[in-house]
Structure 1
Amino acid sequence: MGRPEVYTLGRLIVDLYANDIGVPMKDVNSFNKYLGGSAGNTAVGLARHGANVGMISRVGKDGHGQFLKETLIREGVNTRMVHEDPNYPTGLAFAAITPPSDSTVLFYRKPCADANIEITDLDREALGKAKILVVACTALAVAPGRDAALEALEYNRSTGGVNVLDIDWRPQFWTNESEASLYYRLALRLADVVIANEPELEFVGGGGDPLEACRNVLAYGPQQVVAKRGGEGVLYVGPEGVRNTPAFKVDVLNTLGAGDAFGAGYTYGLLQSWEVERRLEYACASGAIVVSRHSCAAAMPTNAEVEDLISSKAIK
């Protein structure tokens, strides 16, 4: 494991996914345990592609936290900036899997460790040597996590790094939408690349036409907006102009984690300095593989698996 060239910051939790497929939460009898959380999933995804990746987060001083740190290390993720919180437990998420629709998720995170990342957790020397910082924006929901996220974005920009924002909009994590809008605007002004699904794009860019919403986001200062549109593929707006990339055809089991796989794939493409078309195709294939599997982090594909799917040309 080399020095991290990319860091992810934000949610790191335990996912408990139902083994009973197509069953409502109240009737589920057993769950599988996985590493979860947007930033955690993305870190694992990047590591499996071959990136040198580190993570910035917190876990509880409990068995779940130990499981998460050990899993990250086993996957090749640098955990120097994953700290044990002295006061709060590791967050949990229970999911009822109902293919092909979105699954039902029940979060246990009030309070929890990953929301309490502090500015003092940041190793500026290490962060300053990285090329990219990926922030999952649920880190903005409460202090002190929001302070650490904004500080990391500002510092990374000051040292010449690229800031990638995963909008990761979950209204239930926020006190109200007005507060959320304020902190998202602050983060967008520090962003170079913005990745969002359709509801997230509507939240940060306004309703109506997706292309117009992308351009509204660009007005805050980012150079690229990558809009994930599910079966409709991906809309990209950036220096190269507008691009539309089709989705890959796969059987859908669980949509959870597909966006994180997409983000990991796209960020890996940025690290490799690929052309935009190559980045988008690779990211789409990464997300497609994960929707066909049960978990999030454990489902993240390797570079070889992504290239195999691309070679198959299984486009919708």
Structure 2
Amino acid sequence: MYKMILAILSVTVCYAASAQQKLKVIAIGSYNCENLFDTVDDTAKKDEDFTPNGAYSYTQEVYTQKLHNIATVLEKIGTDVTPDGAAVIGLVEIENSTVLADLVAQKEIKHRNYKYCWFPTPDERGISTAMLYNPKYFKLIAAETLPVPLETIGQKRPTRAVLHVYGVLAGDTVHILVNHWPSKSGGEARSAPGRMLAAKVNKHLIDSLMAIRPDTRILLMGDLNDNPTGEPVKEVLQAKADKDDVTMKDLFNPWINIYKKGMGTESYRGEWGLIDQIMLSGSFVENNTGWRYYRAEIFNKEFLTNKLGKDKGLPHRSFTIAQVWDNGYSDHFPVLVYLVKNAD
């Protein structure tokens, strides 16, 4: 049997009977890196803006600083709870394997020996989803992409595929789905069918897996370009907001209630949206053995936010609206969920 060495952090959970239980904890993250491109023009993609002579003057110096900034975020997420940070991180807006190799080699996170999964997808700009994993916690078994065929609903512009990763997370077999659903470009009504289709691609795989084994452990994450109360999440994925309502075959979405409190991961026209989410299959809620859901967190630390002006408190993005490098991080905050397991 595959054995993993865990960094154990004792946390205390108070139950109704006031009993205390020491637990192991693991962090799972998701982060939209906001256009993490290299500086090379890919003639097959529309990535010219992110080249030295492009609209963003994306020089090697800017690229190097962007890598450092993103690595700084990845270094810190989850460390309030576990010193090893996030064991698995879904990434959005990644151009290629080159930037991933450069990212994991950054001094801030090099010591964690992160590995990555990535496949090219049909997106015209060349951005894809990816997944980093710490081999101390995660053993990769297989990975694939699931196309989101927008042409079947009459849309010509291709979108990102769903990254499906299968492996062992600190002793538990899991399926991880990393998403970047079609944006709302062109308006809500015009773009909504694309997100509905992306949700259906996820739902089809989830239902197929659960038909074979209802207690399958699944993590669905990424930038959904829709809030937790949106139709794709509510009607297609049928995600539940409250743990008490979750059965083994359901998806649990802790972000629904967080969003209702007015919190978000990105802001558009002065309104917070919580489009970055991590959902969990019912086995992370119902099971008393193995890893189970503990809590969710928007990683909106002060160093990631704007300090002044009308954008105070918003994510400090990489570039200004005028496309000038602002030495920021991303226009999204990362999100995290923590899983716990009884200590030996």
Q: TM-score range by the shorter chain?
A: 0.3 to 0.5
- Bigger proportion of residues as helix: 1
Larger radius of gyration: 2
Give the TM-score of the pair, scaled to structure 1: 0.41
When normalised by structure 2's length, the TM-score is: 0.39
